[in-house]
Amino acid sequence: MAWSASQYVKFEDERTRPARDLLAQVPLDRVSKAIDLGCGPGNSTELIIDRYGKEGVSGLDSDLNMLEAARKRLPGTTFTHADLATWQQDEPADLLFANAVFQWLPNHFDIFDRLMDGLTRGGVLAVQMPDNLGEPTHLLMEESAHVGQWKTAFEKKSVRRNPLSPPSAYYSRLIGKCARLDIWHTIYNHPMADAAAIVEWVKATGLMPYLTAAGDEHREAFLADYLARVEKAYPKMADGRVLLRFPRIFMVAVKG
Ligand SMILES: C[S@@+](CC[C@H](N)C(=O)[O-])C[C@H]1O[C@@H](n2cnc3c(N)ncnc32)[C@H](O)[C@@H]1O
Protein backbone atom coordinates (compact mmCIF):
# COMPACT_ATOMS: atom_id res chain seq x y z
CA MET A 1 0.00 0.00 0.00
CA ALA A 2 1.28 3.46 -0.82
CA TRP A 3 0.44 5.91 1.97
CA SER A 4 -0.17 9.61 1.38
CA ALA A 5 1.02 11.93 4.14
CA SER A 6 -1.05 14.83 2.77
CA GLN A 7 -4.25 12.75 2.79
CA TYR A 8 -3.44 11.42 6.27
CA VAL A 9 -2.96 14.84 7.88
CA LYS A 10 -6.35 16.12 6.66
CA PHE A 11 -7.75 14.92 9.99
CA GLU A 12 -4.57 15.26 11.98
CA ASP A 13 -6.16 16.57 15.19
CA GLU A 14 -8.59 13.67 15.41
CA ARG A 15 -5.96 11.09 14.45
CA THR A 16 -3.43 12.43 16.97
CA ARG A 17 -5.84 12.41 19.90
CA PRO A 18 -5.45 8.67 20.61
CA ALA A 19 -1.65 9.09 20.46
CA ARG A 20 -1.97 11.86 23.06
CA ASP A 21 -4.27 9.69 25.22
CA LEU A 22 -1.84 6.76 24.95
CA LEU A 23 1.23 8.83 25.81
CA ALA A 24 -0.59 10.32 28.83
CA GLN A 25 -0.66 6.84 30.38
CA VAL A 26 3.05 6.09 29.87
CA PRO A 27 4.48 6.06 33.42
CA LEU A 28 7.98 7.33 32.57
CA ASP A 29 9.37 10.67 33.77
CA ARG A 30 12.26 10.63 31.32
CA VAL A 31 13.57 8.47 28.48
CA SER A 32 17.05 8.00 27.09
CA LYS A 33 15.90 6.05 24.02
CA ALA A 34 12.38 6.17 22.60
CA ILE A 35 11.27 4.92 19.18
CA ASP A 36 8.03 5.86 17.46
CA LEU A 37 7.09 2.73 15.50
CA GLY A 38 4.98 3.47 12.41
CA CYS A 39 5.65 7.16 12.94
CA GLY A 40 3.74 8.28 9.82
CA PRO A 41 4.21 12.01 9.12
CA GLY A 42 5.81 12.54 12.55
CA ASN A 43 2.69 13.74 14.42
CA SER A 44 3.08 11.08 17.12
CA THR A 45 6.89 11.56 17.22
CA GLU A 46 6.33 15.27 17.88
CA LEU A 47 4.20 14.43 20.93
CA ILE A 48 6.98 12.24 22.35
CA ILE A 49 9.50 15.04 21.77
CA ASP A 50 7.17 17.60 23.37
CA ARG A 51 7.03 15.46 26.49
CA TYR A 52 10.61 14.17 26.77
CA GLY A 53 12.76 16.44 24.60
CA LYS A 54 14.33 15.39 21.31
CA GLU A 55 17.45 13.71 22.69
CA GLY A 56 17.22 9.95 22.06
CA VAL A 57 13.84 10.09 20.26
CA SER A 58 13.60 8.60 16.76
CA GLY A 59 10.96 7.32 14.38
CA LEU A 60 10.57 4.37 12.05
CA ASP A 61 8.20 3.70 9.17
CA SER A 62 7.99 1.50 6.07
CA ASP A 63 6.57 4.21 3.81
CA LEU A 64 8.89 6.67 2.05
CA ASN A 65 6.23 9.35 1.54
CA MET A 66 5.44 9.33 5.28
CA LEU A 67 9.14 9.44 6.16
CA GLU A 68 9.72 12.42 3.88
CA ALA A 69 6.89 14.30 5.65
CA ALA A 70 8.24 13.32 9.09
CA ARG A 71 11.77 14.52 8.21
CA LYS A 72 10.39 17.85 6.97
CA ARG A 73 8.33 18.27 10.11
CA LEU A 74 11.08 17.39 12.57
CA PRO A 75 14.48 18.22 11.05
CA GLY A 76 17.29 16.87 13.21
CA THR A 77 15.31 13.81 14.34
CA THR A 78 16.36 10.43 12.95
CA PHE A 79 13.70 8.60 10.94
CA THR A 80 14.52 5.09 9.75
CA HIS A 81 13.04 3.21 6.81
CA ALA A 82 12.14 -0.27 8.08
CA ASP A 83 9.39 -2.88 8.07
CA LEU A 84 8.23 -3.81 11.56
CA ALA A 85 7.62 -7.37 10.43
CA THR A 86 11.39 -7.90 10.11
CA TRP A 87 12.96 -4.95 11.97
CA GLN A 88 15.67 -5.86 14.50
CA GLN A 89 16.36 -3.39 17.26
CA ASP A 90 20.03 -2.49 17.74
CA GLU A 91 19.94 -1.56 21.43
CA PRO A 92 17.39 -1.59 24.30
CA ALA A 93 14.85 1.26 24.48
CA ASP A 94 12.92 2.78 27.40
CA LEU A 95 9.89 3.50 25.25
CA LEU A 96 8.54 1.74 22.17
CA PHE A 97 5.51 3.72 21.07
CA ALA A 98 3.16 2.46 18.35
CA ASN A 99 0.07 4.48 17.56
CA ALA A 100 -2.18 3.02 14.85
CA VAL A 101 0.28 0.71 13.13
CA PHE A 102 0.05 -2.84 14.47
CA GLN A 103 -3.47 -3.43 13.15
CA TRP A 104 -1.72 -3.72 9.76
CA LEU A 105 0.57 -6.54 10.94
CA PRO A 106 -1.30 -9.85 11.27
CA ASN A 107 1.52 -11.44 13.31
CA HIS A 108 1.70 -8.60 15.85
CA PHE A 109 1.58 -11.02 18.81
CA ASP A 110 5.04 -12.35 17.90
CA ILE A 111 6.32 -8.83 17.30
CA PHE A 112 5.06 -7.65 20.71
CA ASP A 113 7.01 -10.52 22.30
CA ARG A 114 10.16 -9.39 20.52
CA LEU A 115 9.57 -5.73 21.41
CA MET A 116 9.15 -6.57 25.11
CA ASP A 117 12.58 -8.25 24.95
CA GLY A 118 13.96 -5.03 23.46
CA LEU A 119 12.97 -2.89 26.47
CA THR A 120 15.08 -1.88 29.43
CA ARG A 121 13.74 -3.03 32.82
CA GLY A 122 10.81 -0.73 33.64
CA GLY A 123 10.66 0.27 29.97
CA VAL A 124 7.30 0.63 28.23
CA LEU A 125 5.65 -0.76 25.13
CA ALA A 126 2.69 1.53 24.35
CA VAL A 127 0.30 0.43 21.61
CA GLN A 128 -2.96 1.75 20.20
CA MET A 129 -4.87 -0.02 17.43
CA PRO A 130 -8.18 0.91 15.77
CA ASP A 131 -10.77 -1.73 16.68
CA ASN A 132 -13.26 -0.66 14.04
CA LEU A 133 -13.77 -3.58 11.65
CA GLY A 134 -17.33 -3.94 13.01
CA GLU A 135 -18.18 -0.27 12.35
CA PRO A 136 -20.30 0.80 9.34
CA THR A 137 -17.22 2.44 7.76
CA HIS A 138 -15.50 -0.93 7.46
CA LEU A 139 -18.52 -3.21 6.97
CA LEU A 140 -19.59 -1.01 4.05
CA MET A 141 -16.18 -1.26 2.35
CA GLU A 142 -16.77 -5.01 2.22
CA GLU A 143 -20.28 -4.50 0.86
CA SER A 144 -19.03 -2.18 -1.88
CA ALA A 145 -16.23 -4.61 -2.71
CA HIS A 146 -18.69 -7.36 -3.59
CA VAL A 147 -20.91 -5.45 -6.01
CA GLY A 148 -20.14 -3.66 -9.27
CA GLN A 149 -17.65 -4.26 -12.04
CA TRP A 150 -14.68 -4.45 -9.68
CA LYS A 151 -16.00 -7.40 -7.66
CA THR A 152 -13.85 -10.07 -9.38
CA ALA A 153 -10.77 -8.38 -7.90
CA PHE A 154 -12.15 -9.13 -4.42
CA GLU A 155 -13.30 -12.67 -5.21
CA LYS A 156 -9.71 -13.78 -5.75
CA LYS A 157 -8.30 -12.30 -2.57
CA SER A 158 -9.75 -10.62 0.52
CA VAL A 159 -8.19 -7.27 1.41
CA ARG A 160 -9.96 -7.09 4.76
CA ARG A 161 -7.61 -6.54 7.71
CA ASN A 162 -7.43 -9.36 10.26
CA PRO A 163 -9.71 -8.68 13.24
CA LEU A 164 -7.97 -7.83 16.49
CA SER A 165 -7.92 -10.35 19.33
CA PRO A 166 -9.89 -9.74 22.55
CA PRO A 167 -8.08 -7.91 25.39
CA SER A 168 -7.79 -11.21 27.32
CA ALA A 169 -5.62 -12.67 24.54
CA TYR A 170 -3.22 -9.69 24.59
CA TYR A 171 -3.16 -9.80 28.38
CA SER A 172 -2.35 -13.53 28.52
CA ARG A 173 0.38 -13.23 25.93
CA LEU A 174 2.14 -10.20 27.44
CA ILE A 175 1.65 -10.44 31.20
CA GLY A 176 4.54 -12.90 31.75
CA LYS A 177 7.00 -10.17 30.75
CA CYS A 178 5.25 -7.27 32.53
CA ALA A 179 5.45 -5.60 35.91
CA ARG A 180 2.17 -3.89 34.97
CA LEU A 181 -0.15 -4.17 32.00
CA ASP A 182 -2.94 -1.68 31.39
CA ILE A 183 -5.42 -2.42 28.58
CA TRP A 184 -8.46 -0.32 27.79
CA HIS A 185 -10.86 0.62 25.02
CA THR A 186 -11.98 4.12 24.12
CA ILE A 187 -14.80 4.87 21.70
CA TYR A 188 -14.36 8.29 20.13
CA ASN A 189 -17.29 10.02 18.45
CA HIS A 190 -15.84 12.48 15.96
CA PRO A 191 -18.23 15.12 14.58
CA MET A 192 -17.57 15.25 10.83
CA ALA A 193 -18.91 17.74 8.28
CA ASP A 194 -20.75 15.05 6.31
CA ALA A 195 -20.53 11.51 4.95
CA ALA A 196 -18.03 12.66 2.31
CA ALA A 197 -15.67 13.71 5.13
CA ILE A 198 -15.88 10.19 6.57
CA VAL A 199 -14.90 8.81 3.16
CA GLU A 200 -11.99 11.29 3.02
CA TRP A 201 -10.86 10.08 6.46
CA VAL A 202 -10.80 6.37 5.55
CA LYS A 203 -9.26 7.05 2.12
CA ALA A 204 -5.97 7.62 3.95
CA THR A 205 -6.17 4.36 5.91
CA GLY A 206 -8.76 1.53 5.89
CA LEU A 207 -10.11 2.19 2.40
CA MET A 208 -6.66 2.22 0.75
CA PRO A 209 -6.40 -1.55 0.14
CA TYR A 210 -9.90 -1.54 -1.40
CA LEU A 211 -9.12 1.33 -3.79
CA THR A 212 -5.85 -0.34 -4.76
CA ALA A 213 -7.60 -3.65 -5.47
CA ALA A 214 -10.44 -1.99 -7.41
CA GLY A 215 -7.78 -0.31 -9.59
CA ASP A 216 -7.61 3.15 -11.18
CA GLU A 217 -10.23 2.20 -13.75
CA HIS A 218 -12.91 1.60 -11.08
CA ARG A 219 -11.72 4.00 -8.37
CA GLU A 220 -14.33 6.74 -8.86
CA ALA A 221 -17.25 4.31 -9.27
CA PHE A 222 -16.17 2.38 -6.17
CA LEU A 223 -15.96 5.60 -4.19
CA ALA A 224 -19.43 6.70 -5.37
CA ASP A 225 -20.93 3.33 -4.37
CA TYR A 226 -19.23 3.47 -0.97
CA LEU A 227 -20.23 7.10 -0.32
CA ALA A 228 -23.91 6.31 -1.02
CA ARG A 229 -23.77 3.54 1.60
CA VAL A 230 -21.96 5.75 4.14
CA GLU A 231 -24.56 8.51 3.64
CA LYS A 232 -27.32 6.08 4.65
CA ALA A 233 -25.44 4.68 7.64
CA TYR A 234 -24.44 8.01 9.23
CA PRO A 235 -27.52 10.24 9.71
CA LYS A 236 -27.15 13.98 10.23
CA MET A 237 -27.14 15.28 13.81
CA ALA A 238 -29.01 18.38 15.05
CA ASP A 239 -26.21 20.65 13.73
CA GLY A 240 -26.14 18.97 10.30
CA ARG A 241 -22.93 17.08 10.98
CA VAL A 242 -22.46 13.30 11.26
CA LEU A 243 -20.81 11.37 14.09
CA LEU A 244 -17.99 8.99 13.26
CA ARG A 245 -17.93 6.34 16.00
CA PHE A 246 -14.39 5.03 16.33
CA PRO A 247 -13.44 2.32 18.88
CA ARG A 248 -9.75 1.85 19.65
CA ILE A 249 -7.82 -0.51 21.94
CA PHE A 250 -4.91 0.74 24.03
CA MET A 251 -2.14 -1.17 25.83
CA VAL A 252 0.60 0.09 28.10
CA ALA A 253 2.98 -2.73 29.06
CA VAL A 254 5.68 -2.00 31.64
CA LYS A 255 8.52 -4.51 31.49
CA GLY A 256 9.12 -6.48 34.69
C1 LIG B 1 -2.19 5.22 10.59
S2 LIG B 1 -0.50 5.70 10.39
C3 LIG B 1 -0.02 6.18 12.03
C4 LIG B 1 0.87 7.38 12.02
C5 LIG B 1 1.22 7.96 13.39
N6 LIG B 1 1.88 6.98 14.25
C7 LIG B 1 0.02 8.51 14.14
O8 LIG B 1 0.00 8.38 15.37
O9 LIG B 1 -0.90 9.12 13.56
C10 LIG B 1 0.24 4.11 10.23
C11 LIG B 1 1.69 4.17 9.79
O12 LIG B 1 2.23 2.86 9.92
C13 LIG B 1 3.11 2.62 8.86
N14 LIG B 1 3.24 1.17 8.66
C15 LIG B 1 2.30 0.30 8.22
N16 LIG B 1 2.81 -0.95 8.16
C17 LIG B 1 4.10 -0.85 8.61
C18 LIG B 1 5.15 -1.79 8.79
N19 LIG B 1 4.97 -3.08 8.49
N20 LIG B 1 6.34 -1.36 9.26
C21 LIG B 1 6.52 -0.03 9.56
N22 LIG B 1 5.57 0.90 9.41
C23 LIG B 1 4.37 0.50 8.93
C24 LIG B 1 2.46 3.32 7.67
O25 LIG B 1 3.40 3.57 6.66
C26 LIG B 1 1.89 4.57 8.33
O27 LIG B 1 2.79 5.64 8.25
What does the pLDDT look like over 66-90, one tens digit per residue? 999 999 999 999 999 999 999 999 9
Q: What is the pTM of this model?
A: 0.96
Q: Quote the pLDDT of residue 209.
A: 95
Query: Does residue 230 surpass a pLDDT of 90?
Result: yes
Q: What is the CATH number of the domain that holds 191?
A: 3.40.50.150
Burial 12-28 (b: 16+ CB within 10 A, else e): eeebbebbebbbeebeb
Q: How far is the CA of 74 from the centre of ligand 1 (A)?
A: 17
Domain with 191 in it: 5-255
Q: Quote the pLDDT of residue 25.
A: 98
Could you tell me if the CB of 66 is within 6 A of ligand 1? yes
Q: Quote the pLDDT of residue 1.
A: 73
Residue 247 CB burial class (10 angstroms; 0-12, 13-18, ≥19): middle
Q: Quote the pLDDT of residue 194.
A: 98
- The mean pLDDT value of the chain amounts to 96
Q: How far is the CA of 93 from the centre of ligand 1 (A)?
A: 19
- 3-state SS, residue 238: coil
Q: Whose CA is nearest to atom 26 of ligand 1?
A: 40
> What does the pLDDT average to over 184-197?
98
Q: How far is the CA of 61 from the centre of ligand 1 (A)?
A: 6
Residue 106 CB burial class (10 angstroms; 0-12, 13-18, ≥19): exposed
Q: What are 95-135's pLDDT values in tens digits?
A: 999 999 999 999 999 999 999 999 999 999 999 999 999 99
Q: Quote the pLDDT of residue 142.
A: 96
Closest CA to 37 of 101, 90, 86, 85: 101
Q: Are 87 and 60 in contact (CB under 8 A)?
A: yes
- Residues with Cβ within 8 Å of 166's Cβ and at least 6 positions away in sequence, in order, are none
Q: What are 2-14's pLDDT values in tens digits?
A: 888 898 889 999 9
Q: How far is the CA of 25 from the centre of ligand 1 (A)?
A: 21
Could you tell me if the CB of 225 is within 6 A of ligand 1? no
Q: Quote the pLDDT of residue 157.
A: 84
pLDDT range class, residue 216, cuts 50, 70, 90 = very high
Q: How far is the CA of 165 from the centre of ligand 1 (A)?
A: 19
Q: Quote the pLDDT of residue 20.
A: 98
Q: Quote the pLDDT of residue 135.
A: 98
Number of domains making up the chain: 1
Q: What are 164-178's pLDDT values in tens digits?
A: 999 999 999 999 999
Q: What are 32-60's pLDDT values in tens digits?
A: 999 999 999 999 999 999 999 999 999 99
Query: Does residue 220 surpass a pLDDT of 90?
Result: yes
Could you tell me if the CB of 19 is within 6 A of ligand 1? yes
Q: Quote the pLDDT of residue 36.
A: 98
- 3-state SS, residue 178: strand
The minimum-distance atom of ligand 1 relative to the CA of 3 is 25
Q: Which residues pair with 86 in a beta bridge?
A: none
Q: Quote the pLDDT of residue 238.
A: 98
